[in-house]
Amino acid sequence: DRSFIPARPGHDDGSLCESIIAMANALHKLVIAEGIETQPQAQFLRERGCYLGQGYLYARPLAADAFIARFRAPLAHDGIAAAS
């Protein structure tokens, strides 16, 4: 949940997030973070073993028709369009 991700990684408010990730990893469960808004937050999570997430850093919410159109369009990675 977004409320567990520290706004500024490196502060004490990340302890709960770290604990949740460690517990889930120990139980061999996938951890999906919600509400990732900045690169430092994404890095904080990756460094602790959380490799899946969603949030404004990756994409804003889309209406269903906009979502479909976005994923039907050719993919682009580093400025290079992929074949569809």
State the Cα–Cα distance between residues 13 and 51, nearest whole angstrom: 20
Query: pTM, whole model, 2 decimals?
Result: 0.68
**Please, what is the Cα angle at 8 between 17 and 57, to 5 degrees?**
85
State the Cα–Cα distance between residues 77 and 49, nearest whole angstrom: 24
- The ranges of the chain with pLDDT < 50 are 78-84
For 34, list phi and psi in degrees, rounded to 5. Answer: -115, 145
The string of DSSP letters for 1-45 reads: -GGGS-SSBTBGGGHHHHHHHHHHHHTT---EEE---SHHHHHHH
Amino acid identity of residue 4, one-letter, is F
